[in-house]
């Protein structure tokens, strides 16, 4: 059984240690997680797995954890859906973008992939001042799942044309492990 947990609140140095301790004490295994400081705040998303009684124990413990640290916590039981042959044949690609600080970039990227039936399964973005000039820059890293019937060469051409129109510097490449 799986449990998806999302939490947000005031950042404290011990949060990651205490959250992972709680999961361990409830005899659950972290399958996936993203835990990060967002300036003075903290956010985490995780998927844990265990048998049903350990999941129930963790659900109960999360309420006390949220009261001990000023955190908003939500959780839901995850679903395991079998993948069909087409989904199993899909190709995971990484997309890296660097651009001037343009607020609409992430929406335009999401729309580009959505219109081609490409699933975006992970997005990380940040803004920072460029070295030397201090001009604001936008950085994005996406993981997309490209259907196997899509021609990569055509997609890459369309993507590069899109990036030229948006004034984005981008790379679209297969994920290498």
Pick the closest to residue 6 from 60, 66, 75 (CA basis). Answer: 75
Homologous superfamily in CATH for domain 85-174: ACT domain (3.30.70.260)
Mean pLDDT, rounded, for 49-72: 92
Report residue 102's pLDDT band, with 50, 70 and 90 as the boundaries: low
E-strand ranges in the chain read 2-10, 29-38, 41-49, 71-78, 91-100, 119-129, 136-146, 168-174
pLDDT at 155: 95
Written as six digits, the tokens of 21 are: 């301790």
DSSP 26: T
Model-level pTM? 0.71
Going by pLDDT thresholds of 50, 70 and 90, the confidence category of residue 75 is very high
Q: What is the pLDDT of residues 77-92, one digit of tens each?
A: 987 766 566 566 789 9
Query: What mean pLDDT value characterizes the chain?
Result: 88
pLDDT digits (tens, 9 = 90+) for 3-15: 999 999 999 889 8
Domain boundaries, the chain: 2-78, 85-174
Ramachandran angles phi, psi of 126, nearest 5° = -160, 160
Question: Would the CATH topology of 2-78 be identical to that of 85-174?
Answer: yes
What is the length of the chain?
Answer: 177
The CATH classification number of 2-78 equals 3.30.70.260
């Amino acid at each position: 059984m799986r449990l998806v947990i999302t939490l947000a609140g005031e950042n404290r140095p011990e949060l990651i240690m205490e959250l992972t301790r709680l999961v361990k004490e409830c005899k659950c295994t972290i399958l996936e997680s993203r835990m990060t400081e967002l300036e003075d705040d903290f956010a985490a998303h995780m998927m844990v797995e265990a048998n049903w009684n350990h999941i129930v124990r963790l659900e109960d413990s999360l309420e006390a954890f949220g009261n001990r640290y000023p955190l908003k916590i939500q959780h839901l039981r995850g679903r395991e859906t079998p993948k069909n042959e087409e989904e199993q044949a899909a190709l995971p690609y990484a997309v890296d973008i660097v651009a001037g600080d343009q607020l609409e970039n992430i929406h335009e990227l999401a729309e580009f992939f959505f219109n081609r039936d490409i699933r975006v399964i992970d997005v990380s973005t940040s803004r920072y001042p460029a070295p030397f000039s201090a001009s604001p820059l936008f950085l994005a890293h996406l993981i997309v799942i490209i259907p196997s019937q899509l021609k990569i060469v055509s997609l890459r051409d369309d993507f590069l044309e899109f990036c030229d129109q948006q004034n984005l510097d981008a790379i679209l490449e297969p994920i290498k492990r």
